[in-house]
């Protein structure tokens, strides 16, 4: 699916930090924010992916609108520092391991929680002084249906996303009187490298082929029988950064093809 006419959000003069910007949803958010006029700081541990993003922004006639920072978000102090001075923060970086609890490596559980919950906390902490100082800020947390619902074999991911939902709502309550909104986006399955890897993992775990994983497992609860595209998530993220969205805060906006309508 191609989005031919993105909405006319104007974020000229705003700065934005996007984590996990080298691929998938983060990359789409970085490019969409840049297209709306924001000056984007793209953060990821994947230097090659960031370089490709930089080139793509320049090729789209937006040279200088995307700057890149290679950073592993397990370095929490560096994450907090990187967020200083940004007007918009998109907490997006994530990782997944599909494994039953009894086989789930404890050190991977810790890393998932660190990257997907502790780092967002530290990034928000780093961003708030500037946002509060100017009386305006936007925090967009890329959560998931798994912030609202559990699935077997995803203990760390589901725990981190449920935690992120709580963090986002707390930031919304604290930030409201400073003009800062905080929201979660809760997509169903998005067509990204993370999902391609999961399809392979689930196929191995259930002993079935990849096509059956998509139709019978991933989309079993989705009324709309397709994967959602990263650009569709980016469009909603940008809308949340507009003036028109200033009353939307503390929300968890699903984009799940009806999954959570069940
Ligand atoms: P992706 O794997 O394509 O991108 C994730 C990015 O995060 C990668 O570029 C990766 O390098 C980066 N990253 C991972 N660990 C990092 C670390 N320690 N430090 C810095 N960067 C790190 O995944 P995606 O599908 O685009 O996922 C982005 C976000 O969307 C995640 O939070 C994910 O949970 C969420 N989400 C994805 C889906 C989906 O179906 N793809 C659905 C719901 C929510």
Q: Find the DSSP H helices in 186-247.
A: 193-206, 210-212, 230-240
CATH numbers and ranges of domains, the chain: 10-189+228-255 (3.40.50.720)
pLDDT tens across 35-70, in order?
A: 999 999 999 999 999 999 999 999 888 777 999 999
Q: Which residues touch 55 (CB under 8 Å, ≥6 apart)?
A: none
pLDDT band at residue 8 under the 50/70/90 scheme: confident
Residue 3 scores a pLDDT above 50 = no
End-to-end CA distance of the chain: 25
- Integer CA distances (angstroms), 126 to 44, 81, 139, 256, in order: 17, 6, 12, 31
- Rg (the chain; Cα; Å): 18
Give distance in angstroms: CA of 92 to centre of ligand 1.
Answer: 6
pLDDT band at residue 111 under the 50/70/90 scheme: very high
Nearest ligand 1 atom to alpha carbon 25:
26
Q: Which residues touch 208 (CB under 8 Å, ≥6 apart)?
A: 216
pLDDT at position 7, please? 57
CA 55, 123, 85, 235 dihedral sign is positive
pLDDT tens across 48-57, in order?
A: 999 999 999 9
User: What is the average pLDDT value for the chain, to the nearest integer?
Assistant: 94
Residue 4 scores a pLDDT above 50 = no
- 100: tokens are 């039953």
pLDDT at position 74, please? 98
pLDDT tens across 155-184, in order?
A: 999 999 999 999 999 999 999 999 999 999
pLDDT band at residue 2 under the 50/70/90 scheme: very low
Alpha-carbon distance of 233 to 186, in angstroms, equals: 9
pLDDT tens across 187-204, in order?
A: 999 989 888 888 998 899
Beta bridge partners of 43: 19, 69
Nearest ligand 1 atom to alpha carbon 145:
43
Q: Are strands 66-70 and 39-44 parallel, antiparallel or unpaired?
A: parallel
pLDDT tens across 71-95, in order?
A: 999 999 999 999 999 999 999 999 9
- Average pLDDT of the segment spanning 225-244: 96
Q: Find the DSSP H helices in 114-186.
A: 119-134, 155-175
Q: Which residues line ligand 1 (CB under 6 A)?
A: 20, 22-26, 44-46, 49, 72-74, 92-95, 115, 142, 144, 187, 189-190, 192-195
pLDDT band at residue 6 under the 50/70/90 scheme: low
Nearest ligand 1 atom to alpha carbon 193:
3
Share of the chain above pLDDT 70, in %: 97
Alpha-carbon distance of 210 to 168, in angstroms, equals: 34
DSSP state of 120: H
Neighbours of 22 (CB within 10 A): 25
- Catalytic annotation present for 189: no
Q: Which helix (H) or strand (E) holds 44?
A: strand 39-44
- Read off the pTM: 0.95
Are 38 and 14 in contact, with CB atoms under 8 Å apart?
yes
């Amino acid at each position: 699916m191609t989005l031919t006419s993105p909405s006319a959000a104007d974020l000229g003069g705003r700065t934005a930090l996007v984590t996990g910007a080298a691929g998938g949803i983060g990359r789409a958010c970085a490019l969409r924010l840049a297209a709306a006029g924001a000056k984007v700081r793209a953060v990821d541990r994947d230097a090659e992916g960031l370089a490709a993003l930089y080139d793509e922004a320049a090729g789209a006639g937006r040279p200088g609108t995307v700057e890149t920072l290679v950073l592993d978000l397990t370095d929490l102090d560096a994450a907090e520092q990187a967020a200083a001075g940004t007007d918009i923060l998109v907490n997006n970086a994530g990782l997944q391991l599909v494994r039953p609890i009894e086989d789930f490596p404890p050190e991977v559980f810790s890393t998932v929680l660190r990257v997907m919950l502790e780092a967002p906390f530290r990034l928000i902490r780093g961003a708030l002084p500037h946002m509060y100082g100017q009386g305006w800020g936007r925090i967009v947390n890329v959560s998931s249906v798994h912030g609202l619902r559990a699935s077997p074999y995803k203990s760390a991911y589901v725990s981190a996303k449920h935690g992120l939902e709580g963090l986002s709502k707390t930031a919304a309550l604290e930030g409201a009187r400073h003009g800062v909104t905080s929201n979660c986006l809760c997509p169903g399955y998005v067509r990204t490298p993370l999902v391609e890897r999961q399809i392979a993992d689930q196929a191995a775990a259930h002993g079935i082929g990849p096509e059956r994983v998509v139709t019978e497992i991933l989309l079993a609860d989705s009324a709309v029988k397709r994967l959602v595209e990263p650009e569709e998530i980016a469009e909603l993220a940008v809308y949340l950064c507009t003036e028109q969205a200033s009353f939307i805060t503390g929300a968890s906006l699903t984009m799940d093809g009806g999954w959570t309508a069940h």
